[in-house]
A and B are shown apart, each in its own frame.
Chain A
Amino acid sequence: MAQPVVELDRVGKTYYNGDVETPVLFDISFSIVPGEFVAIVGGSGSGKTTLLNLMGLLDRPTAGVIRVESQEVSQLDELKRAKARRDRLGFIFQFHYLLPEFTVLENALMPCRMRGREFEKSQEPRMRELLKAVGLEDKLKVRPPQLSGGQQQRVAVVRSLANEPAVVFADEPTGNLDSKSGRLVFDLMKRLSRESGTAFVMVTHDDNFALEADRVIRIRDGRLVGAPLGAIPSPERLGDSILRGGDRA
């Protein structure tokens, strides 16, 4: 049975603004195992991005426990969460937000740069290979403004793998691209997930992409709902720890 990379146990989130309480997520429990490609779907305001932020250690839950690689991370302070993100997590956002001052290769290596010059150097050959694999081998020295939107998002996908993360969180990574570029980026993420054995968690509005995920987590009004949409991963691959708690609902 594969050890989960991310586990959520009865996680809830409530925002407080003075005396006003706004509950956003309720009693969420599930796990993600290495190499799994998970899609989170739900309507606007359903809480899927909040869920992604909690898993990505950008925010802290107000209830429950989150573990990354078996380590409890729910209540880490800001500095420790930043370090955990830097070392073990990858991110892809709807807007790629590459740094215009740096070349494509430097942008892809940015998470490594945060960990020091030596680490960056050690990862450079791998990142060159990855950029070559996504068809950007002739753009390594080019700055982001000279690339198309699809190309920039491909750089962002490669960047998310720079620090060899346990899991990559993607928040509507195709949302800002035309359908062709969106398809390219999605296929790329799936391929890299398969090849690298890195788990991907993708928030998406697009049911077509969700159907191609190993598993779909549907969220409505802050709760996990219904049967998983799309393919249910085989127990041999994912282990029986995946479908737990709210996911079984």
Chain B
Amino acid sequence: MLSYFIRSVAFRHLRYSVSQSLLTIGVVAISVLLIIYLRTIIGGTQQRITQNTTGAIPHITVEPPERTPVGAWQLSNLGLDKDTLYVGEVVNLPKAREVIEDWRLWLPSLDAVDPEVATVSPIVTGQAFMNRGSRRQSVRVTGVIPERHNGIVEIEKNLDAGRFIGMVSGDVVLGQKLARDFGLKLRDKVRLVGPEGLTLNFSVAGIYTTGFGQVDDGQVFVTLRDGQSLLELGGSISSFGIKLTDLYDAENVARRMVPVFPFKVQSWVVQNPNLFRTLDAQGQTRDLILIMTTIASGFGIGSILVMVVTSKYREIGILKAMGATPGEIQSIFVLEGLLLAFIGCLVGVPLGVLLLKGLAAIRSVGPDGRVDAPFLIEIDPMLLLGASLVAMATGVVASYFPARKAGQVDPMQVIRGS
């Protein structure tokens, strides 16, 4: 433990050298503030980009495996049926439309596949035309079980009117923009024409604004059964959408699912490789800046302590002559570094929190007219603690070398005034 002698000399040095102490505390406080600011702002931006990308899509998509049709004449290319000679016209085989027929059997297994799974939503999806009066527009029809699908995209919370959960056969729920374009209000009638020409009439049951372009514009929700009818899928679905409790674990969960299910299982990470690369690059840049900041702060503490040691050379020599051990002298200066870093944290952390709270309070009007906070800020206590620990560790490491130098002062040289 640090003795009374070590503590008292270290404290007194700091109190007596006010300007040097304040300078060091300032350096540490700024670096702590930078660590907190950069991590929160860049973390928030990343979270916002990720949310914007993944908010309207499943974290994991389970689709029927892709099967490319193979003609009998192509079997020899695959090393099969080498001896048969085929005569005839070569035609391009159309890809079969893949669906999941026995989805009801798979649903319980998917629900229970991983503790991270929050929601599994069976989905049918396809293109259709929406007609009303003379207006006609291609839309993406998504047939869902609303209670389940609301866990994938939060429609219910973002309703401007009507309902999503509890919609029944014959109901359609659509985005505000589409409703405006078609002049639709609640309970208005609209007609959807499926890809095979089947026409069904729907009544507007809900109008929403989620803020996700791909959901708000050009997409309509109907019940799973209506979707299956309109797209003529019988009892099949197009895919399962899965939402997880931790979206960053999607790739791991997807990998664990691949050997278990006879489907194509893909995470949002694989479906959005560019986004992932961008976020990764951004994270690396942030980490580089943080490392540089920490090093700069370390040099700040170190250089100031080198000055302190040099200016106290004689006093150190006398203390050693009087019986202070090299370890005690070294401890005095390491303790000074630690104390300076600690006080720097006490200043830097509240400043960082204050800055972030100020930024969090800013509101701006987006292009869609919605008032929104430009910075997504969540103050993480673990980050505050982490930044403080990093700063204090930097203080100790940075003070170690000047402290060692102090411990090695030769009292005999000091005594002679050399």
A residues contacting B by CB (< 8 A) are 49, 53, 56, 58-59, 78-79, 82-87, 89, 91, 93-95, 97, 99-102, 110-111, 113-114, 116-117, 120, 159, 171
Taken residue by residue from 319 to 358, chain B's Cβ proximity to chain A (1 for < 8 Å, 0 otherwise) reads as 1111111111000000000000000000000000000000
Find out whether the CB atom of A97 lies under 8 angstroms from the CB atom of B414. yes
A78-B326, A85-B322, A110-B319 as given contacts; A101 in contact with B12, CB under 8 Å: yes
Contacts of B13 in A (CB 8 A): 101
Closest-CB distance, B5 to chain A (whole angstroms): 5
Indicate if the CB atoms of B325 and A101 lie closer than 8 Å: no
CB distance from A219 to the nearest CB of B (A): 16
Q: For the complex, give the distance between the alpha carbons of A173 and B167 in Å.
A: 100
Minimum Cβ distance to chain A for residue B314 (Å): 5
Query: In the complex, what distance in Å separates the CA atom of A83 from the CA atom of B317?
Result: 15
* CB of B68 closer than 8 Å to a CB of A: no
Residue pair B323, A97 in contact (C-beta under 8 Å): no
- Among A59, A95, A111, which residue has its beta carbon within 8 angstroms of that of B412? A59
Residues of B within 8 A of A85 (CB): 321-323
Contact of A97 among B12, B16, B314 (CB under 8 A): B314
Among candidates B320, B322, B325, residue contacting A110 with C-beta atoms closer than 8 Å? B322
Question: A49 to B325, alpha carbons, bound, how many Å?
Answer: 22
Interface size band for B: 20 to 34
> Among the listed A87, A95, A171, which residue makes an inter-chain contact with B323, where contact means beta carbons less than 8 Å apart?
A87
Q: Is the Cβ of A101 less than 8 Å from the Cβ of B16?
A: yes
- Are A116 and B326 within 8 A (Cβ)? no
Task: Beyond the given A79-B325, A101-B15, please list 10 additional residue pairs across the A-B interface where CB-CB is below 8 A.
Answer: A56-B321, A84-B323, A86-B322, A86-B323, A91-B318, A94-B417, A100-B16, A111-B322, A113-B5, A114-B323
Chain A residues whose CB sits within 8 angstroms of the CB of B325 once the complex forms: 78-79, 82-83
User: Which of B9, B16, B323, B414 lies in contact with A111, CB distance below 8 A?
Assistant: B323
**B3 at the A interface (CB under 8 A):** yes
Chain B residue numbers with a CB within 8 Å of A56 are 321
Nearest CB in chain A to that of B321: its residue = A91
Would B317 and A97 count as touching, CB distance under 8 A? yes
Interchain CA distance A172-B342 in the complex, whole Å: 43
Which of A82, A95, A111 is the one whose CB lies under 8 Å from B417? Answer: A95
Q: Mark B1-25, 1 if CB is under 8 A from A, else 0.
A: 0011100110011011000000000
Q: Is the CB of A116 within 8 A of B417?
A: no
The 4 closest A-B pairs by CB, nearest first: A86-B323, A101-B16, A101-B12, A97-B318
CA of A27 to CA of B132 in the docked complex: distance in angstroms?
Answer: 119
Residue of B whose beta carbon sits closest to that of A118: B4
| Contacting residue for A93 out of B15, B318, B328, CB 8 A | B318
**B415 touches A (CB below 8 Å):** yes
- Choose among A58, A100, A102, A120 the residue that contacts B411 (Cβ–Cβ < 8 A): A58
